């Protein structure tokens, strides 16, 4: 399995099927987190996700790029069909598991579009 395929499976299981039981299969225990609102490690991720999943997210992947041990995912995150957030996630993988994460997010809800391309 490629790093890109692993990340796609991770998104499908965790963000779209809301299955946290599979996280140890995808993520190192010493997962390094660069999102300030999420605690370090796999346990910090699980703690955050328990609250996050209450918003009923769905990740609609627009593009995914792989460069060696790095995978970048650009996606539309829908929350309960109402709120729309544009997200870039960057992962570093190590030994076939997610080892490090960075992100950039923009809530697009209610932001007018002034060109033909839109937010996505």
Q: Is the pTM of this model over 0.75?
A: yes
CB distance 40 to 27 below 8 Å: no
Q: Indicate whether 117 belongs to any domain.
A: no
Q: Indicate whether 10 belongs to any domain.
A: yes
Taking alpha carbons only, the member of 51, 106, 60 closest to residue 81 is 60
How far is residue 86's CA from residue 11's CA, in Å, rounded to a whole number?
A: 15
CB distance 76 to 69 below 8 Å: no
Q: Any idea what the CATH number is for the domain that residue 62 is in? A: 3.10.450.50
Q: Indicate whether 41 belongs to any domain.
A: yes
Q: Indicate whether 83 belongs to any domain.
A: yes
Q: Indicate whether 98 belongs to any domain.
A: yes
Per-residue pLDDT tens for 32-89? 999 999 999 999 999 999 999 999 999 999 999 999 999 999 999 998 877 889 999 9
User: The domain containing residue 62 runs over which residues?
Assistant: 3-106
Confidence grade of residue 117 (pLDDT, cut at 50, 70, 90): confident
Number of domains in the chain: 1
């Amino acid at each position: 399995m490629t790093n890109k395929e692993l990340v796609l499976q991770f998104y499908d299981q965790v963000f779209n099927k809301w299955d946290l039981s599979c996280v140890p299969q995808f993520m190192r225990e010493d997962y390094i987190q660069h999102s300030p609102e999420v605690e370090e490690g796999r346990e910090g991720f699980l703690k955050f996700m328990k609250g996050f999943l209450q918003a009923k997210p769905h990740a609609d992947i627009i593009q995914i790029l792989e460069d060696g041990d790095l995978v970048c995912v650009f996606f539309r995150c829908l929350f309960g069909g109402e709120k729309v957030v544009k997200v870039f996630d960057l992962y570093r993988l190590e030994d076939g598991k997610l080892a490090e994460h960075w992100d950039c997010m923009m809530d697009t809800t209610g932001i007018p579009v002034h060109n033909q391309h839109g937010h996505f």
